[in-house]
Structure formats: C-alpha cells, structure tokens
Amino acid sequence: MFSNAENWFCICPDLYSGKLCQLSACARSPCGHGSTCVPRSQEEAVCLCPYGRAGILCEEAINITCPRFNGTDEFGSTSFIAYSTLPGISFFYEFQMKLIFSNNGSSLRDNLILFSGQKGQGINGDDFLVLGVRKGRIFHKFNLGSGVGTIVSDHLDLGIGIHTVHFGRSLRTGWLKVDNKKNKTGSSPGHLVGLNVISQFYVGGYSEHTPELLPVGSRFRNGFQGCIFDLHFRTRRGGEFRALGSPEEHPNSGRSVGQCGVPSCALVQCQNGGTCVDSGSTVYCRCPIGWKGALCSETISVCDAEHSPPPLCAHGSTCIPLPQGYTCQCPLGTAGQYCQQALAISDPSFSGSRSSWMSFGAVEGLRQRTNLQLQFQTLSPEGIMFYTAQRLSARAGDFFSVSLTSGFVQLRYSLGDALVVLQSAGRVDMSGGTWHTVRAGREGSQGYLSLDGAEVRGNSTGDMIALDVATDIFVGGVSVLSAVSSCAVEDGPAGFSGCIREVVLNGRQLELSEAGASGGANVGDCDGTTCGHKVCQHSAPCSPLGHNGFTCTCPPLWTGPTCNQSVLCANSSCQHGSLCVPDMAAASYTCMCPLGWQGQHCDREVYLTTAHFVGNSYLKYRDPEHHTRDLTRTKVSFDFSTDSGEGLMLWMGGAEAEAHDHLAVGLHGGHLRITINLGEGISLPLTHRAASMCCHRWHHLSIDHNRTVIKVSVDGEQVLFEDVDPFERYVAVNHGGIFYFGGFELHRDVASATNGLFNQGFVGKIKDVVLYQDTTQLQFLQSFEGFNVHTGDE
C-alpha cells in the first residue's frame, strides 16, 4: 500500500484491480470501449460497461436521458455515475429529484442514492453529504466536521410510482421533503457550519462500493436500484436550479448505467435454459450446469483445445471467446484471422474495435519536460494515440495522454494536483487519407499542442511541475483500456483506428516495428508492405520486394540498402574502427579516430598523457571503484589549457535527463562555470568572473564537494565557495560512476545534453586528472572510450 498527499492506494499485482485489489481482472479480455473485465471462470468473462455503453461486449452506444441503476452486482461492483465536484455547496445546497424504485425486495432495504465527501477518517477529515434509503425511509445525512446530522422521512408510500425528493442544508440546519409528506428538519452537532468536500459527486452508487471506505455515518450496504431523473441543485437561496456536471449533464464517468424503461436483455437471447442478467447497461447470460459461452450455447469453451472444432489460433496467439465464436489476438509480427501470417511492420495500423496497441520501454527525461511529435491518419473520431502514466489504473496518478475526441486532438496531462486539457482548434480528416502532424508537450506546468502547425497553449493551475511516470509508453491504444486514468480521456477510453508512422519523444524516435516494440497485439501494417515512413533515407523512393523485402532508389551522393551511407565514404581509407564523416561541400570526407589513433586515416598510434580536444571530441570514463566511493564527498582535479572561451570540460553523470544528478565544469564567456544537481534540481551556475581562463595558458583546477558545499580553486587559490542547499535536503552526487571529458558521444549535442548550461564541446588540452583521494592520475588509454581525441604531448 502507498500513500500520497491526498489519499492512500494499493498497487495491485497483475490480474487484480479495485481499491483493495479485491477484484480479479482478465488475462484474456474481449471487453472494449473502456469496460471493466470481470471473470466468471478461467475461460469466461463479464464486461461491466462504462457510461454510455451497453451489450455483452459493451459494443452498443446508448443515449441515456433517464439513468437506470441496478445496485451492487454479483461481482461486488456498483452501478454509478460520477460528476465533477459541485462548487459553492459549503454553506448552502438544495436538491430536487425524482425516483422510481425497482420492484424487488432489496431496492428499499439499505441503498445509497447520492454521495459526496471526504475519503474516510483521519487527517483528510470526514465531511460528507449523503442521501439514501433504508427500510423504506429516505435518509438525508451530513457531517460538517463536528458530527453527523440526520433527517429521516416517513415510510414511503409504495402505491406511488414516481417519488419526488426535495432536500437541502443551510449552515448547520438541513431539511428533507418526500412526495406530499411534511417537511422534516434537523441540525448537525457542534459549532462548524461549512461543508468541505472535494470529491466527485456520485449518483446511484460509488465507484468502489466498499462501504467501509466511506466515512462513518454515510455508509449504505447497496447501491440504488431503480431510476433517478430530473436531478437539479442550487447553491444559494433564490438561485436558479441547474443540472449536475461540467458542462451540465456531462458526467465524468459511470458504470453499468442503463436507460430507464429499456431492458438490456431485449437484444440478448440466452440459449439452453440460460437466464439473462440485466445489470443496468451490463448484460450477460447465467448458464445452467453443463453449458458455457456468452449465450450458453457451448458445452465447453470455444477456446478449449477439446472443443469441436478446436480453435484455429496460431501458436503464440491468444484465443478469446465471443458471443458468436471466438477471435484470435495476434502478437506483434503476425496477422490474419488466425494470426497465421507473418507480418513486417513499418508503419503500424491499429483497430479500435479490437485490443490493438504497441508498447515501448521508458524514455529518460520526461519528468521536467515532455516533447512529443507524432504523425497519424485516422478512420475514427475517437481513440488514444499516446499514453504513459504513473500506474496502470483508473487512479493512475500522473499521466500524459494524446487522443482524439469527436475528431479533435486533445492533450491531457496531470502532474498530480491539477488536470490540464488542451484541444486543437480544428478537427482532423477522418477518412484515413490525410497524414497529420501533432506536436504536444509540457515544460514544468506549461503545456502546448500543435496540429499541423496551429498551436494552442495552457498552464496547470496546480503547484506541481514534474511528471512522474513509470508505465510503458503506449502507442495506438493501451493493453487494458479500463486501466487508463478516468481523466485522461473525455468520454471513456477507446483504442485508435488508423495509422501512425512517426513517434519522437524527447528527441528519441521510437522504432515502430515488431522488433522495436517491447509488446503489443493486433497491429497491422498501414499499406501492407515493408515500405514505411523513412525506411529509405534522404527522401529516396521505396519499392516493395517480395513479401518482406524492399529496395531503395538512392539519390546522388548516397548509397547502401537504405541510402544511409555517403558515396564519399563508400570506399574510404579510414582505419582501426574510425568513423567516416562526409564533407559534401568539399566532395571529400574526414576520419573520426577512436581513442589511441590519429592521422588523416587514423593510421598512426599515439601515446596519450595529455588529451587534446577539438570541439567534437570526447572521453568517457567509468570509475571501477564507484561502489566504494563516498558520494557525499567528491573531489576532482586536473590541469587544462584552452583555445576557446566556451566549452564543456567535465560532466560527472550520464546527462540522460535534466533531473539526474551531476557535477560539471566548463567555460562560458571565457570564465569558469560550475554546475551541480544533488537531486532537487539544477542550481544556478556558479561562475568565477574575476579572471579569464582564455587562452593558451595552463591552469590547475581543483573542485571539492562536501555534502552541499562546493569549493573551487584555480592555481592554488580558492575562487568559489558556495552552499547550494543549506537545508541539506540532498547531499550526494549520484552520478553513476560516469565521467565525460571534453563533450559527449558524437551523436549527442552538448547544448541539448546539458540543457543549455554549456553550448559546445571543449577546445583545448587536459592532463593530470585525479579523482577523489586517489594517489595516481588517470591513464587515458586505460578504462576510457572516446573519439577524435588528439595527443597533446607533441
């Protein structure tokens, strides 16, 4: 069990869900449209439909004007509707509504009608308002923090078909009027007069109806059974009554809610003596002994090997029973009705009507800033295109989501304390014939969304500025749609229908193929060929070749299977593993030499006691003694001579993300610059402005970090002394034992990797490097890797 600032929650193991992880989930789920899958047996499941959906697989969209609730089902789930928090009800509220009770013995016994309140007892308080029915009487109860006020009606007149309920509260005094009975009043004890509730407003039940999770005094054993309609409220005397929701009559979520007077069993024909169970919009057949299947039409599951005929799903695929037969869920790289065809994915296509998705491992650096670029074409107005979260759960914590809603692109994200929603100004083409480009992201709490160049921006109203996510990155859908945050989509989670051909996240391009993804299911290829977006580089045309092959017609100056190799380097003389870099302007090339080699073709071995960096050079050292070091005490010293007033000399740490710990030193404007991150965030750079370090003079530099204190000496004289965090919230540099000298790997830009702290690689010489309290200097040709480092000993 974990907790956050507002609440506690359980991290559920696989195949379990619910507030207390009390519900089994489904290993093989046929449920769609954001429904919740609950198993009846190892082979069969029931789909609990979200608000606005009905049917055995929740495949039917329904219009609800008069909601019908069915209480708590046999699986322990309650039908309910959740609306946004009602503003302004602290000192006054008044509700009016109409009820129709189901014609059964349990509808009047102990049933919750309305609820809004704190999430139990303790530091969060236990304020609440609740309306319920118990033993044939209506109860209006409220707690302002100093005790429960209770108002009880007379027994309901069961001869009345539609009951009218009018109730409210002003400060400590509440009232309740039912039908044509006399108005009842009552007061809460104590001196408190304000109701402090921040939860959603629940109608008909509670999202996790475990009564013990509700505040004492507000608990009812069952959800409402019947219809609730004409529900309106106001927050001041004489004010205008209005409907729930923001916007009005738009709930946030719901489950197993049907339309009053429309039985869900009307379209379901259970066979062989099976009984149709109508639970709001959720419907299923309860089969007699010996019969199975959604319609009780099978003696054994259609997915059992002994079924006649046996399922034809290919090895590695998953058989999922359906009301009529079964379907095969295909792993990545396979396709066809039975997943029997091999498929090479270049531009993936997704089907929102099936469980269709791809997943990828985590990308570093999303915490402080998140920048996404995605190209897509769609066949549907709805669907999740990109999703990652703190947890795979409807209570997901932080999340970042890009989806389609009614044809508009939406970016939704939460940093833990406020929801940000940005929507494109225009709709997309839903014919599948147009490739659209989306750029979406946030830095701190500030977000942006661009569709085909038209940008909108917005800010979070909360105080949080970091995105903490731990799930995989999902593209095209999510493995379990019911595990998507209820705030991440507007109308319930749905898979995407269409093609996606580019996803770039924080500068890293995801490989959208069966080899590049870590998981996925039911993913096709957009055009059915291996010629995907940018398979051939440098705008070269691509032509399919056989079933899984392709050929690129390369433009001048490029060659290779994907036109990724310059003709200038095709027959280069670069030796000893050096890199050939074409120079188009000069129609020539340059050899980038590995560590220990030099010369035009990297053919001359050199001894390296002084390293000479030329701006696109780097050395990388992994400290073999890192596990023994005291990371609260860091000391490093070396001699340097520079040819430029700009450049990174040393970076301790991987430089994979802005939030990662580091200690760095370099030059900016000719002056020495030091930066350190102990875990709280990047401190302001420390700059020694009293003297210029440029140029062509040797200096001895010593840096000493002791917990939060930084001391820097140049040529034996202390030039900087700073306590970067007097409160000592973080005291260690957790750099992972990685030291970069002069720059980073050749594909990494110094300015990007350091978030602008340093704008280029070092140009100059470094020697006599000593770490910590070591007595010997580092030997550059031992335990180092690097490129384009010249000897400075000549």
Q: Which of 1-10, 479-488, 500-509, 539-548 bottoms out in mean pLDDT, i.e. has the lowest?
A: 1-10
pLDDT of amino acid 216: 86
Q: Do the Cβ atoms of 462 and 413 come closer than 8 Å?
A: no
Provide the 3-class DSSP secondary structure of residue 483: helix
- Is the model's pLDDT at 777 over the cut of 60? yes
d(CA 735, CA 744) in angstroms, rounded, equals 15
535 within a domain of the structure (yes/no): no
- Counted residue by residue, the chain has a size of 794
614 within a domain of the structure (yes/no): yes
Better-scored residue on pLDDT, 246 or 700:
700
Q: Last residue of a domain, which of 259, 282, 312?
A: 259
DSSP-H helix ranges across 257-413: none
* DSSP, res 591: E
pLDDT of amino acid 6: 42
Q: Name the band, by pLDDT with cuts 50, 70 and 90, for residue 13.
A: low
pLDDT of amino acid 434: 93
Q: Which domain holds residue 697?
A: 610-791
SS (H, E, C) 678-745: CCCCCCCCEEECCCCCCCCCCEEEEEEEECCEEEEEECCEEEEEEECCCCCCCCCCCCCCEEEECCCC
> Do both 251 and 362 map to the same domain?
no
pLDDT of amino acid 671: 92
Q: Give the total number of structural domains in the chain.
A: 3
d(CA 455, CA 424) in angstroms, rounded, equals 7
703, 741, 750: which is closest to 613 by C-alpha? Answer: 741
DSSP-H helix ranges across 516-670: none
- The DSSP H or E segment spanning 605 is strand 604-605
Better-scored residue on pLDDT, 609 or 36:
609
pLDDT of amino acid 42: 65
pLDDT of amino acid 409: 96
Mean pLDDT over the full length of the chain: 88
pLDDT of amino acid 20: 61
Name the E strands within 506-632. 508-509, 519-521, 524-525, 542-545, 549-552, 558-559, 565-566, 579-583, 588-592, 597-598, 604-605, 610-614, 618-622
d(CA 640, CA 613) in angstroms, rounded, equals 11
> Do both 241 and 374 map to the same domain?
no
Q: Last residue of a domain, which of 525, 558, 583?
A: 525
Q: What is the mean pLDDT of residues 159-165?
A: 96
Q: Which of 35-39, 53-57, 682-686, 711-715 bottoms out in mean pLDDT, i.e. has the lowest?
A: 682-686
d(CA 589, CA 592) in angstroms, rounded, equals 10
Q: Name the band, by pLDDT with cuts 50, 70 and 90, for residue 5.
A: very low
pLDDT of amino acid 4: 44
d(CA 71, CA 66) in angstroms, rounded, equals 16
- The DSSP H or E segment spanning 413 is strand 408-414
Q: What is the mean pLDDT of residues 488-492?
A: 81
Tokens of residue 541, six digits: 């045309």
- Is the model's pLDDT at 3 over the cut of 50? no
390 within a domain of the structure (yes/no): yes
Q: What is the CA radius of gyration of the chain?
A: 33
635, 622, 609, 651: which is closest to 765 by C-alpha? Answer: 609
pLDDT of amino acid 12: 62
Q: Do the Cβ atoms of 706 and 670 come closer than 8 Å?
A: no
Q: What is the mean pLDDT of residues 336-347?
A: 91
Q: Which residues contact 331 (CB under 8 A, 6 or more apart)?
A: 316, 317, 339, 520, 521
> Do both 716 and 618 map to the same domain?
yes
* DSSP, res 75: T
Task: State the CATH number of the domain containing residue 761.
Answer: 2.60.120.200
pLDDT of amino acid 307: 84
* Torsion region of 37: left, alpha or beta (phi above 0 gives left; psi -120 to 50 gives alpha): beta
Residue with tokens 């024909």: 269
> Do both 249 and 368 map to the same domain?
no
544 within a domain of the structure (yes/no): no
Q: Name the band, by pLDDT with cuts 50, 70 and 90, for residue 500.
A: very high
d(CA 434, CA 413) in angstroms, rounded, equals 26
Q: Name the band, by pLDDT with cuts 50, 70 and 90, for residue 765.
A: very high
The DSSP code sequence of 430-456 is -SS---EEEEEEEETTEEEEEETTEEE
> Do both 490 and 368 map to the same domain?
yes
Q: Name the band, by pLDDT with cuts 50, 70 and 90, for residue 658.
A: low
CA atoms within 13 A on the CB side of 750: 26
Tokens of residue 781, six digits: 């040709």
d(CA 249, CA 232) in angstroms, rounded, equals 10
Q: Do the Cβ atoms of 447 and 459 come closer than 8 Å?
A: yes
Q: What is the mean pLDDT of residues 198-226?
A: 84
> Do both 244 and 144 map to the same domain?
yes
CA atoms within 13 A on the CB side of 582: 14
Instruction: Give tens-digit pLDDT for 395-440.
Output: 788 999 999 998 999 999 999 888 899 999 999 999 998 999 999 9
Better-scored residue on pLDDT, 358 or 416:
358
> Do both 119 and 238 map to the same domain?
yes
pLDDT of amino acid 21: 61
Question: 117: burial class by Cβ within 10 Å (0-12, 13-18, 19+)?
Answer: buried
117 within a domain of the structure (yes/no): yes
78, 118, 107, 82: which is closest to 203 by C-alpha? Answer: 82
Provide the 3-class DSSP secondary structure of residue 772: coil
Better-scored residue on pLDDT, 95 or 33:
95
Q: Strand 137-143 vs strand 128-134: parallel, antiparallel, or unpaired?
A: antiparallel
- Is the model's pLDDT at 639 over the cut of 90? yes
723, 711, 730: which is closest to 684 by C-alpha? Answer: 723
Q: Strand 549-552 vs strand 357-360: parallel, antiparallel, or unpaired?
A: unpaired
Prior bond of 313 cis (ω within 30°):
no
3-state helix, strand, coil in the chain (%, to 5): 0, 40, 55
Better-scored residue on pLDDT, 684 or 244:
244
Q: Last residue of a domain, which of 242, 259, 276?
A: 259
538, 533, 461, 526: which is closest to 503 by C-alpha? Answer: 533
Q: Do the Cβ atoms of 655 and 753 come closer than 8 Å?
A: yes
Evaluate if pTM is beyond 0.75: no
Residue with tokens 């923001």: 246
Q: What is the mean pLDDT of residues 328-341?
A: 93
Q: What is the mean pLDDT of residues 210-224?
A: 83
Better-scored residue on pLDDT, 487 or 408:
408
> Do both 502 and 620 map to the same domain?
no
Identity of residue 732: A
Provide the 3-class DSSP secondary structure of residue 422: strand
582 within a domain of the structure (yes/no): no
503 within a domain of the structure (yes/no): yes
> Do both 357 and 468 map to the same domain?
yes
> Do both 783 and 654 map to the same domain?
yes
> Do both 385 and 512 map to the same domain?
yes
Q: Do the Cβ atoms of 396 and 478 come closer than 8 Å?
A: no
Q: What is the mean pLDDT of residues 684-707?
A: 89
Q: Name the band, by pLDDT with cuts 50, 70 and 90, for residue 725.
A: confident
> Do both 382 and 494 map to the same domain?
yes
Q: What is the mean pLDDT of residues 336-364?
A: 90
- Is the model's pLDDT at 320 over the cut of 90? no
218 within a domain of the structure (yes/no): yes
pLDDT of amino acid 7: 52
* DSSP, res 575: -
d(CA 665, CA 571) in angstroms, rounded, equals 40
pLDDT of amino acid 120: 53
- Is the model's pLDDT at 618 over the cut of 90? yes
The percent of residues in the chain predicted with pLDDT above 90, rounded, is: 53
pLDDT of amino acid 721: 92
CA atoms within 13 A on the CB side of 393: 22
Identity of residue 298: E
Q: Do the Cβ atoms of 303 and 320 come closer than 8 Å?
A: yes
- Is the model's pLDDT at 659 over the cut of 90? no
